[in-house]
Amino acid sequence: MSELDDIHHWLRERLPALLREYKVPAAAVAVSVGGDVIDVAAGVLSLATGVEATADSVFQVGSVTKVWTATLVMQLADEGRVDLDAPVRQYVPQFAVADEGAAAAITVRQLLSHTAGFEGDIFTDTGKGDDCVEKYVATLGGTPQLFPPGSMFSYNNAGYCVLGRLIEVLRGKPFDACVREHLFGPLGLTHAANGADEAILFRAAVGHIQPGPDADPVPAPIWALARSNAPAGSMLTMRARDLVAFARMHLDGGKAADGTQVLSADSTAAMRRPQVTLPELGLMGDEWGLGWEVFDWPGGPVIGHDGNTIGQAAMLRLVPGRDVAVALLSNGGNPFALYSEIFTKVLRDLAGVEMPPLPAPPEVPETVDVERYLGTYACDVAELVVERDGDGRLWVEQRPKGLMAQLGGQVERIELVHLSDDRFVPLKATLGVHIPYVFIGDDGTGHSLYVHSGRAIRRVATDQEPRHP
């Protein structure tokens, strides 16, 4: 029996118990070593219907879509139609943000690597028509610039929607048609969809959310985010096996299983080449390439991307040096603990990679001066108020805004404990993870300019920072 066979047996035996332990309604896993692929699924696609998950079930892949969008851009670069270091306005003349100088300077490469610097969590719904991405880009004119283009990393959904519009302009067709004709078709994918209208043709998962911190998952009231955010990850849906087929293309120098050259070998290599180093966030990569996250793990490097939509989560990891890829798709509960259990074993056994443990608070947190971190930080979907209580403990109150408030987001008050340097983690986990908060920069008064949890959220109150609530 091969090592891959061993993993297949372990997944069939272990996955149902893991789903029960972590309250995940359903999950599907696919693993590839060389040309061999195995897949396993368990659970139910909706707790309301009880329909069982199979290996042919389709789940939303969320922001893993960004690697697909980046691949479409790199195909255009292969054709000589896109210069990665040209201003994006060369291809999308109507692109604008609040800072005109930044809008004129932002390059395609900066959008691909999340270094463009404007606020990125913009989820404006501009309808379901084929012009929705074009209309979405037209709404960005008032979007604030957080930092000069190219100077640091901040995850940017809106930037990938701009890239989607670039693809539409140069291909002369809607984004989902580009995905279908330039990726689904050449890769020979049989269970992949752009949105609910296509996903309903398959055995589709429903996302599940938790009404309260300790509540059991329930089916989400909305299946997907707006079509206008499709290039960033609101629509793409597929089997775990089909996601691994996309990963295999990137491992095989841009070739599909039948030998079709989907992307050049040079571009596949360029996409995984680090462009920017991230703050020490723990859950994201150590660096970011052109679409791919890069993880500097023992036995690696490893590349990948994660995605989260309304109650669905996707994780994808590739080990180019070992020709290994693994994908996990799920529909609620605690997907991070599930990811940690499965990927730790699969990557260790098949690729010799040791996945670091997820961030966690120290047993005895160090007491530090928190004065410089206090204040209010805000973006389009949340306001974060960082306060110190009478005992000197640090708290962040997260107040949802915009779409997050509309989806039922609740105000959360979270105690933070010191991890290292300017890094803090919640004392209590949310969905099994302690997402780090990193305070960076200086606003000129001795206070941090940003709090970073993957997104750089800028301070908005510098003269009346809260002290003792």
Tell me which residues are annotated as active site: 63
Q: Specify the residue for token string 């069982």.
A: 52
Question: How many Cα atoms are found within 13 Å in the side-chain-facing hemisphere of 162?
Answer: 35
Q: Is 276 exposed, middle or buried (0-12, 13-18, 19+ CB in 10 A)?
A: middle
> CB neighbours (10 Å) of residue 369?
8
Q: Are 220 and 206 in contact (CB under 8 A)?
A: yes
Residue 389 backbone phi and psi in degrees, to 5: -85, 180
Q: Is 432 exposed, middle or buried (0-12, 13-18, 19+ CB in 10 A)?
A: middle
Helices of type H across 172-264: 175-179, 185-187, 196-199, 240-251
Q: How far apart are CA 139 and CA 145, in angstroms?
A: 15
The token pair that represents 370 in the structure block: 């928190």
Residue 436 backbone phi and psi in degrees, to 5: -65, 150
Strands, E, within 296-381: which ranges? 302-308, 313-319, 324-330, 375-378
Q: How far apart are CA 221 and CA 422, in angstroms?
A: 38
**Dihedral (C-alpha) 315, 316, 319, 320: value to the nearest 10 degrees?**
-160
Q: Are 447 and 382 in contact (CB under 8 A)?
A: no
Q: How far apart are CA 316 and CA 243, in angstroms?
A: 8
Q: Are 389 and 416 in contact (CB under 8 A)?
A: no
β-pairing, 276-277 vs 236-238, is: unpaired
Q: How far apart are CA 415 and CA 394, in angstroms?
A: 6
Q: How far apart are CA 320 and CA 76, in angstroms?
A: 24
Nearest CA among 268, 254, 150, 202 for reference residue 45: 202
Amino acid identity at 19:
L
Nearest CA among 433, 453, 432 for reference residue 386: 453
